[in-house]
Amino acid sequence: MKKTVMLIDDEVDFCYFLKKNLELTGEFAVETSNDGEDGIRKIKLHHPDVILLDIMMPGLSGPDVAAELKNDESTRNIPVVFSTAIIQEQEINQKKNVIGGWHYIAKPIEMDKLLVLLRQLTK
């Protein structure tokens, strides 16, 4: 059974290749959205197994989206992986506790690392 990944990122081409790469593994089905509001709508529609959420987006930012999901009983327990172009992995590890147990991965994303994380979260 394929796991569903919800990918929210304003970079259209980033979504395009990430979707392709994840689907190539045969393990994941990927839904994409290019802004926060649309992303929330699609999450409520598709109930993905895991969400990959960009932090810096126009309109609703990644944390805004995450807060919205926390408020909703149906989406509260879906694991979220923040992706960011700014924070380095080393720092992410240091700040894990501060940002409340969510997961982070730095752009550019290396597939090997992402896959390890996604497999673990969708087990």
Under the binding rule (CB under 8 A), the answer on residue 20 touching another protein is yes
Under the binding rule (CB under 8 A), the answer on residue 93 touching another protein is no
Q: Which of 41, 46, 56, 67 binds another protein (CB under 8 A)?
A: 56
Give min distance, CB of 50 to another protein, in A.
18
Q: Which of 1, 90, 98, 123 binds another protein (CB under 8 A)?
A: 90
Give min distance, CB of 102 to another protein, in A.
19
Query: What letter would DSSP give residue 1?
Result: -
All residues at 6 or more sequence positions from 122 whose CB lies less than 8 Å from its CB, including other chains: 3, 49, 50, 79
Q: How crowded is residue 99: how many other Cβ atoms within 10 Å of its Cβ?
A: 14
Beta-bridged to residue 82, according to DSSP, are 53, 104
- Residue pair 62/54 in contact (Cβ under 8 Å)? The answer is yes
Interface residues with another protein (CB under 8 A) are 11, 13-14, 16-18, 20-21, 24, 56, 85-86, 88, 90-91, 94, 107-111
